[in-house]
Structure 1
Amino acid sequence: MNPPTVSARVRGRAAELERIGTLVRGRGGGMVVVCGAGGLGKTTLAAEASARARAEGRVVVWIRWRDGAAQLGQDLAQAAHILGLPESRLEDARTGRVSLVDAVWEHLATVKGWLIVVDNVDTPSRVGPGSGLPAAYRGWLRPHGGGVLLVTSRDTTRQTWGPDADLIHLQPLADDAAGTVLLDAAAHAGTETEAEALAVRLGGLPLGLNAAGTYLSVPTSRHRTFAAYQHALEAEFADLLGAEHPGAAADPDAARRVVRHTWDLSLDQLHQDCYALARPVLQLLALLEPAPVPRSLVTPGLVTDATGLPATAATVDAALAGLHQYGLLHTPGDANPGDGGPPVNQVRLHRLVRDVTAHTLTRPEPTDTWVAAIDEHLARAVDATTSMPGRTGWPTARLLAVHLRSHLDRRAQRDFTTAVGTLDDLADALNNAGAASEELLLRRHLLDAETRLLGADHPDTLATRNNLASTLNDLGEHQQAAVLHHQTLTARERILGPDHPNTLSSRNNYANVLNRLGDHRQAAGLHRQDLTDRERVLGSHHPDTLGSRNNLATALNRLGDHRQAADLHRRNLTDSERILGPDHPNTLSSRNNLANALNALGEHQQAADLHHQTLTARERILGPNHPDTLTTRNNLATAQARLAEVGRRRWWQLPRRR
């Protein structure tokens, strides 16, 4: 009943050890449950806490759960006997004069200064005596002793352990601590930076870190450095971390120590507990990217289309709840960037859980069938998201973006045009949301695919290059944007002609990026040419013509011609309000830009009023954290500061009227 020896220094668990130590050193007792997915080092943490408690003079008893109430009862009775439970009291229990469980806990309540560890209680419903969960506190696990009962388990729910248990939800190690674990095991294998990079790839999972460190410490291993091991994981994952252990099927203790098998124990338990869809839902999630997945994607329709198994909303909910209960997936929090829109539920697998599942678990159907179902439902999810009114779908669009790149790759040889349309639609939604980083992922991927399959001069490829350049400009990468816009303009003038609407758009966009680069004079010249051509080709009231007039005025303002800029902006705002409506994004931009010109002219009060009006509208339409809203808030603050500065000037500092 002695705790196992901790062979290496425990890293990154100082806060958890302090929580346990404080409880052990305290005047009262209690129950602490260290819980989380397999491989997080729960047993190691409990063993280290035990060693520290013993070093402080506490009596420590270690019990290994063997999936049976009778054995646990015997072990706890022996622990109580070690702590002074009289033999006569045990005899009373054996003859039925008193309940053994009550005799044990009545005694443990009177004794101070002990730590009893019950390790690996992964089937808490079987703890006993009798049926029910430990939360009732009538069975073998109770928080009412004079010392501390420490339980380790994969079951993470408060419902299981009750209100009086102190739950420590173990998480993967932080990057620096995880890197140190690797350096402790294989100091020769590289630098701190390289160790940390491999640790990040392994998701900070102690079991994976220990496996990698042990491998790298062996002189005859093929890969001897952190960098080489990380590179080899991509091609040899099944051999390095997904290899089977011959005794794992028959020996749960062996399975716990092997990355390939440790989560099988939880999945087997979920299946026994009638969570029939837990394993196939985990497999489906493993076929997606290693990133958060919107909960709305995991529908009964997807599960049935992929697996052929009957699924309902209730059984899918139960499967996800079971996986979450055993720490196999987590919910990173609502995908709501603070824009005031509705939150979006999401789920995510740990990187190694995903990798092991994708590489090694068998499926009842061929993988192609599963992937085809995923692609179909991804496309439906994009359609639903981009059809939502206002900014409702923006948080979901952000989550879907990372999963759409592989969707395009898989459909490159079949239905490429439809897949491109799906990515384009989502990228446009991300543009509206101001999510330029996520938009950039899709625009780059689209351009690479269209260049490869359609050719560099195809109209669709040119359109994507134009959109990518605009996204780069939004992200502040103005030089890259200028190169791409110039390439697109040159190609469109050659292929489509100088007066084609797409050519005019390219000239407008190239001028915009020149303005951002500080070349205001050339930008103004191009915008003037573009405005003239758009008035001739499209008409003076076309939305694109209004855009050119707005952009020319902005360039003139940058050149210092504030009066002409203000006159153009004022005219443009009037037309935009009439043609597009007062709340259209382009109308809001016109009002913002007019205010900027008036501020430059010294009309600070009028500028502040317009900025305030624009800010109110943008907060309502785009949300408080949209980039355009943030820009307007900054512009309003600038105008108000200028107005206050003027108010502080003395009479002799004010400009004289002439």
Structure 2
Amino acid sequence: MPGLGKSQLVLQFSKLGYASHRYTCVFWVSATTVEKLSRGLIGVLDLVDDRDRNHPDHAVRLLAARRWLEKSPHSWLLILDDVTADVISFLREHLPHENTHGAIILTTRTSQVAEAIVNAGDRQDCILELKPLTTEQSIYLLAKASGPQDQRNKNDQESVETLAKQLGGLPLALEQAGAYMKQKHIPARELHTLYDGSALKNVIHWENTLSYYEKRSVIAAFSIPLQNLRQVSLATSNLFIVLAHFDAESIPLNIIAHGAQVCRGRLADKEKPPQSGISDHNDHSECAPNAAPHSTSMLETVIDLICSKDSLREAMNCFEECSLAQPSFGDNPSLHIHDLIQLVVLNQSRAADQVDECHAVAVTLLTSAFSTLDDYWLPQSWAACERFVPHLISLEKHRPAQTLPNREFMEMSQAIGTYFERQGRYNEAEAILSRVLAQREQAAGIGEHHLDTLGTVQALAEVYTALGKYDQAEEFLGRVLAGREKQIGADHRDTLDTLFGLALLRYRQHQYDDAEELYARLLEKRQFQ
């Protein structure tokens, strides 16, 4: 992955090695393409003033470079930076095969390339994997890059830690953010101004002309792998943008695949000719061609890719080869995307006006998969239900501005709120159900008096009862009872459920006579059903 500091680490090592006279010659060669690698190896001949440096035959000069590295009595260090899969066969042919005086260090963005080069079966000790910095290391680097500050208080320290975590432990991003703070004179106490999307966008686009890194901005470091992905396949690139809307820590590919299968079945049903002249005007399935804001072609292309195991595996390998994500295969296959890559991808998709349709496809996949989860509120389904929670939260977080969620997403959100309530996670339940209620009240075709809205009010009232917020619970239950009695009648099952909730509230309030009266009324009505 770009931005981890691979090249910077090797550069520092080479400086120390040269200064300590461990190496008398240090050669740095870019190894992204065969052309650059060939030019760099031949350049060794000029640096050592070899007699074949001006030979007209290119192959002879390459052989001469290898011969010098194999036979030189000098201690040398050859650094091959950013090795890609395209140059592996070339390296095997032209790298020196002997000489105990020399050493070779290669940097690469993928473990597959590293293993292919060293024949990693019995030489794992030759590979060093760089990981993102720890929180403590990130805070130190960010503080160092931002320059001396006045004595920081606890809030300042927390602000630094929050920004460091948001940048995902990438040295490049931390250095850039620190330099940005320093140049723009942003003190630690104002770091919160960088948390929101627009300000952080400025940081990742800012070009630091004094940077030691090859790429002078964070966006530049990730632009090339994203461009490479688009060149490989537009469908694969679109899939990556769709997946970037999920919780990037661990994207469950089996859930995504299941959602795609469910949606494919619904699309197939929609394409069947109607059995009669009566159409279902209440079908709000977002898999219907005209029901969602995204185009059918985008949805179908992504679904087709996901539903093919070979195509999906190839796409995952492509993400890894482009250093954009790390797939994990096994019983529960998943995909990890670094937080900063996710941020860059979503920012670029907004700039390209792709975010609306890609977010809609992501919502379709998740809600379609969740729709087949039976009895999500029961303990035996809790483990399965919990797997959906971080991705629901992520989709809500990345929902396009000024766009209300569709009905399927609101229904899933309410279901998760009920799941929280059954688990005793009342504060989480209150937060998500309050949000759904506000969304339903604003949504066209729903509004505050719609039965779906009243269902959300009922669920929220039950949470208020559990939290001991009896006044709010009473207000909400009264609203639901009046609305349901008017629209579906006093004897409807849903209305009786509201009556039961009100009776329970009276019991919790120690108003036992009122509770007894309500329970008796409820029992009488249910006896005649």
Tell me the TM-score normalized by structure 2: 0.67
Distance change in 2, residues 1:505/1:231 (3 Å): farther
Q: Secondary structure at the match of 2:106?
A: strand
Distance change in 2, residues 1:383/1:188 (3 Å): same
Deviations along 1:199-229, one digit per CA (max 9) or x if unpaired, are 12222222222222112212xx375556356
Q: CA deviation at 1:537?
A: 3.1
Q: Which residue of structure 1 lines up, in the alignment, with residue 223 of structure 2?
A: 264
Matching of residues 336-485 of structure 1 within 5 Å = 344-360=332-348, 367-385=355-373, 391=381, 393-394=384-385, 396-405=387-396, 416-425=406-415, 427=417, 442-452=432-442, 460-468=452-460, 470=462, 479=467, 482=470, 484-485=472-473
Q: Secondary structure at the match of 1:327?
A: coil
Deviations along 1:78-125, one digit per CA (max 9) or x if unpaired, are 89x79xxx999xx9x9997996576466558x98x865432222x242
Contact kept? 2:139, 2:164, Cα under 8 Å: yes
Distance change in 2, residues 1:357/1:180 (3 Å): same
Distance in 2 (alpha carbons) for counterparts of 1:152 and 1:143? 21
Matching of residues 213-612 of structure 1 within 5 Å = 213-218=178-183, 221=184, 223-225=186-188, 227-228=190-191, 230-231=193-194, 233-242=196-205, 256-270=215-229, 274=232, 277-287=235-245, 292-295=250-253, 296-297=255-256, 305-306=297-298, 312=305, 313=308, 314-331=310-327, 344-360=332-348, 367-385=355-373, 391=381, 393-394=384-385, 396-405=387-396, 416-425=406-415, 427=417, 442-452=432-442, 460-468=452-460, 470=462, 479=467, 482=470, 484-492=472-480, 500-507=495-502, 510=505, 514=508, 522=510, 532-539=520-527
Distance in 2 (alpha carbons) for counterparts of 1:324 and 1:94? 34
Deviations along 1:145-168, one digit per CA (max 9) or x if unpaired, are 566532212223255333025333
Aligned partner of 2:30: which letter?
W
Aligned partner of 1:353: which letter?
I
Distance in 1 (alpha carbons) for counterparts of 2:428 and 2:161? 26
Deviations along 1:494-529, one digit per CA (max 9) or x if unpaired, are 6667994233332365479x5xxxx8xx39888766
Q: Secondary structure at the match of 2:388?
A: helix
Distance in 1 (alpha carbons) for counterparts of 2:45 and 2:468? 73
Deviations along 1:605-638, one digit per CA (max 9) or x if unpaired, are xxxxxxxxxxxxxxxxxxxxxxxxxxxxxxxxxx
Q: CA deviation at 1:142?
A: 7.4
Unaligned runs of 5+ in 1: 1-36, 247-252, 335-341, 543-658
Q: Which residue of structure 2 lines up, in the alignment, with residue 120 of structure 1?
A: 82
Q: Which residue of structure 1 lines up, in the alignment, with residue 116 of structure 2?
A: 160
Distance in 2 (alpha carbons) for counterparts of 1:528 and 1:87? 105
Corresponding residue pairs, total: 461
Deviates more, 1:297-306 or 1:194-203: 297-306
Q: Which residue of structure 2 lines up, in the alignment, with residue 177 of structure 1?
A: 137
Distance in 2 (alpha carbons) for counterparts of 1:293 and 1:214? 33
Aligned partner of 2:28: which letter?
I
Aligned partner of 2:41: which letter?
G
Q: Secondary structure at the match of 1:538?
A: helix
Q: Which residue of structure 2 lines up, in the alignment, with residue 149 of structure 1?
A: 104
Q: CA deviation at 1:58?
A: 2.1
Q: CA deviation at 1:243?
A: 5.3
Q: CA deviation at 1:384?
A: 3.8
- Greater RCO structure (CA 8 Å; 6+ sep): 2
Q: Which residue of structure 2 lines up, in the alignment, with residue 70 of structure 1?
A: 38
Deviations along 1:565-624, one digit per CA (max 9) or x if unpaired, are xxxxxxxxxxxxxxxxxxxxxxxxxxxxxxxxxxxxxxxxxxxxxxxxxxxxxxxxxxxx
Distance in 1 (alpha carbons) for counterparts of 2:477 and 2:367? 32
Identity among equivalent pairs (%): 16
Distance change in 2, residues 1:77/1:280 (3 Å): farther
Structure number with larger C-alpha Rg:
1
Residue among 11, 23, 26 paired with 1:47: 11
Contact kept? 1:291, 1:402, Cα under 8 Å: no
Matching of residues 61-140 of structure 1 within 5 Å = 61-65=26-30, 67=33, 68-74=36-42, 103=67, 106-107=70-71, 115-121=77-83, 123-129=84-90, 139-140=94-95
Aligned partner of 2:11: which letter?
A
Q: Secondary structure at the match of 2:335?
A: strand
Contact kept? 2:441, 2:453, Cα under 8 Å: yes
Contact kept? 1:202, 1:352, Cα under 8 Å: yes
Distance change in 2, residues 1:56/1:306 (3 Å): same
Distance change in 2, residues 1:410/1:528 (3 Å): farther
Deviates more, 1:420-429 or 1:161-170: 420-429
Residue among 186, 197, 208 paired with 2:173: 208
Deviations along 1:345-386, one digit per CA (max 9) or x if unpaired, are 332432222222222358988554444444433432332445
Q: Which residue of structure 2 lines up, in the alignment, with residue 627 of structure 1?
A: none
Distance in 2 (alpha carbons) for counterparts of 1:143 and 1:479? 74
Contact kept? 1:482, 1:510, Cα under 8 Å: yes
Aligned partner of 2:138: which letter?
A
Distance in 2 (alpha carbons) for counterparts of 1:255 and 1:374? 35
Q: CA deviation at 1:412?
A: 6.6
Q: Which residue of structure 2 lines up, in the alignment, with residue 594 of structure 1?
A: none
Contact kept? 1:41, 1:206, Cα under 8 Å: yes
Distance in 2 (alpha carbons) for counterparts of 1:268 and 1:412? 28
Contact kept? 1:411, 1:419, Cα under 8 Å: no
Aligned partner of 1:394: which letter?
C
Q: CA deviation at 1:259?
A: 1.3
Aligned partner of 1:330: which letter?
Q
Distance in 2 (alpha carbons) for counterparts of 1:167 and 1:441? 47
Distance change in 2, residues 1:114/1:359 (3 Å): same
Aligned partner of 2:239: which letter?
V
Q: Secondary structure at the match of 1:203?
A: coil
Q: Secondary structure at the match of 2:26?
A: strand
Distance in 2 (alpha carbons) for counterparts of 1:234 and 1:366? 17
Aligned partner of 1:43: which letter?
S
Aligned partner of 1:327: which letter?
S
Matching of residues 625-644 of structure 1 within 5 Å = none
Aligned partner of 1:280: which letter?
N
Deviations along 1:384-430, one digit per CA (max 9) or x if unpaired, are 4459996484354334422453698889768x545433433455567
Q: CA deviation at 1:63?
A: 1.0
Q: CA deviation at 1:180?
A: 1.8
Q: CA deviation at 1:281?
A: 2.9
Deviations along 1:264-322, one digit per CA (max 9) or x if unpaired, are 222344566x4554433333334556664332427597998328868643344323212
Distance in 2 (alpha carbons) for counterparts of 1:97 and 1:408? 57
Contact kept? 2:363, 2:409, Cα under 8 Å: no
Distance change in 2, residues 1:434/1:373 (3 Å): same
